[in-house]
Structure 1
Amino acid sequence: MIVADYFAMLADDVAGRSYSKAECNRRLQERIDRSRKSIEFKHQNISAVLKGLGEDWIPGYRPAFHFQTSLIDAVVRWLAQNPGWFARRPSAREDSGLRETSPLWVGPPPTLSNQPPPQELEVTSLDVV
């Protein structure tokens, strides 16, 4: 439910529609047994997964890379069940013939531990010039 909720907010964000993260959080608290902080942190974890996949993420949920690898599976399952997600951006549907395809991002190889990805995957405000 948290992954689906995140993508609903992200769809609104990408489309420029207003939404309330606090209201979405309250609705989730009523449906699942998690605190407000827990849901917020899980949303940050989902941002980290999406960043690792090279996808858009909600700017208000800065990626938090300390997450269980099962969250990657949950996000990938959601994307597989919603194949239209990748065609949501106008630029993804345009075929002018004048652009190169976007490069394929390949992340770090999987490990046998639940350790977060290397620190170099995190972008801080100091990294942006």
Structure 2
Amino acid sequence: MEEMVGVWTEEQNDAIVADYFAMLPDDIAGRPYSKAEHNRLLQAVTGRPRGSIEYKHQNISAALKGLGEDWLPGYKPAFNFQTSLIDVVVRWLDRHPDWLAPTARIAMGPSPSALREEAMLWIGPPPPHSNAPPWPAP
């Protein structure tokens, strides 16, 4: 197969994003998967070389990190990517709303980001300007 260079097509981006999301639940749940096997299948589907696919996976990690989503630790984010890649990732998430549903995440197992406690926002009366109580002393 002839090696392709240049800009990834929408179809190629859709294929690699779908593949990335096929690996991510296994990674989150701690189940084994083969990055090499995923790469070989993508080479056949996209016509892209191994290194190009590896780098595009890193781009997807960067896009997901930018969106505040979980990403594959084995693909360190590489932030130099086509902005259209974000559109492809968002489109995938739109087509799979269950991915963002908490029940789906719980079924896959805990993710490191899920273990963080949410900050509590408390809005009450403003503090007094002095240390004296706001009521008269008896």
Q: TM-score, normalised by structure 2?
A: 0.65
Task: Give the 3-state SS of the residue equivalent to 1:60 in structure 2.
Answer: coil
Cα RMSD of the aligned pairs, angstroms, is: 1.9
Question: Which consecutive segments of 4 or more residues in structure 1 shift more than 2 A?
Answer: 99-102
1:16 and 2:30 aligned: yes
Query: Which residue number corresponds to residue 59 of structure 2?
Result: 45
Q: 1:26 aligns with which of 26, 29, 40?
A: 40
Task: Give the 3-state SS of the residue equivalent to 1:58 in structure 2.
Answer: coil
Give the % identical residues: 69
- Structure 1 regions of 5+ residues with no counterpart? 92-98, 103-129
1:89 and 2:115 aligned: no
Matches of 1:101 and 1:81 in 2, distance apart? 30
Deviations 1:14-46 (A, max 9, x none): 122110000100011111110000000000000
Cα gap change, 1:101/1:90 in structure 2, threshold over 3 Å: closer, same or farther? Answer: farther
Which is higher, the Rg of structure 1 or of structure 2? Answer: 2
Matches of 1:74 and 1:37 in 2, distance apart? 20
CA apart distance, 1:101? 7.4
Paired residues, number: 95
Give the AA of the match of 1:81: R
- Structure 2 regions of 5+ residues with no counterpart? 1-14, 108-116, 121-138
Task: Give the 3-state SS of the residue equivalent to 2:77 in structure 1.
Answer: coil
Matches of 2:33 and 2:39 in 1, distance apart? 11
CA apart distance, 1:90? 1.9
1:1-129 alignment runs, 5 A limit? 1-87=15-101, 88-90=104-106, 100=118
